[in-house]
Amino acid sequence: MIAIKDNIAQVKLQISSACQNAHRKPNEVTLLAVSKTKPINMLEQAYDAGQRAFGESYVQEAVEKIIALQSKADISWHFIGPIQANKTNLIAQHFSWVHSVDRAKIAKRLNEHRSGQDTPLNICLQVNISGEESKSGVLLDELPALLAVIETCDNLCLRGLMAIPEKNASQASFKQMQSLFIALQKNYPTIDTLSMGMSADMQLAINAGSTIVRIGSAIFGSRN
């Protein structure tokens, strides 16, 4: 059996040491446990080890888990996967965060479907920092237009930026995201989140100011 509790402790140590190297405080970085494809009992083990923020990528699978675990009301659910327009209602109803908003149509639909809820939906804009390599994420020159749309969405709270730098990306890509993040913070006071870093590149991300690392395999083991 995979010792999820030990893995979480190990990842937290890695976060602490990365923070120390970057002259940052460990509590500036939130650990998001990415539990996509993993069974509910593994999420429960993580919860029992104190984990409260979970990331999911597949809407149907995620909603089943959210409903199964709804008695654990202090879990915050983060949607981090590609968003199909016909799934925005389920996402807006069941999640408190969405990291992967990258086009106006999706933002508008999430905003519509969030109306009537007590709290706005926290969103990050996914930026395609590696250029043409990836199809997900808004390109830098399209970002201002997307921001203008977000400003009209009362049921969305713009919390920041998300990126999935390509495999073996250099520190420079991460630092580019950090610069963008700092620049946007000047105009958007609700921005406090830079969602960046996965099991393999956590150190580079933390060194570039990441405030949420999204960790899957280092906690739950590799995915099939």
The residue ranges that bind ligand PLP (CB under 6 A) are 34, 36, 57, 80-81, 164, 198-200, 214-218
Kindly tell me which of 61 and 155 has the beta carbon lying closer to ligand PLP. Answer: 61
Kindly tell me which of 103 and 155 has the beta carbon lying closer to ligand PLP. Answer: 103
Q: How far apart are CA 135 and CA 1, in angstroms?
A: 36
Question: Which of 72, 151, 135, 65 has the alpha carbon at shortest distance from 100?
Answer: 135
Strands 30-34 and 53-56: parallel
By beta carbon distance, the residue nearest ligand PLP is: 216
Q: How far apart are CA 44 and CA 182, in angstroms?
A: 36
Q: How far is the CB of 149 from ligand PLP (least distance, A)?
A: 22
Kindly tell me which of 76 and 155 has the beta carbon lying closer to ligand PLP. Answer: 76
| Cα–Cα distances in angstroms (integers) from residue 107 to residues 44, 56, 119, in the given order | 31, 18, 16
Q: How far apart are CA 6 and CA 2, in angstroms?
A: 9
Q: How far apart are CA 106 and CA 58, in angstroms?
A: 16
Q: How far is the CB of 176 from ligand PLP (least distance, A)?
A: 18
Give me the residue label for tokens 């509910």: 40
Kindly tell me which of 122 and 155 has the beta carbon lying closer to ligand PLP. Answer: 122
Kindly tell me which of 145 and 200 has the beta carbon lying closer to ligand PLP. Answer: 200
Q: Which residues contact 23 (CB under 8 A, 6 or more apart)?
A: none
Whether 88 contacts 67, CB under 8 Å = no
Kindly tell me which of 12 and 155 has the beta carbon lying closer to ligand PLP. Answer: 12
State the CB neighbour count (10 A cutoff) for residue 218.
19
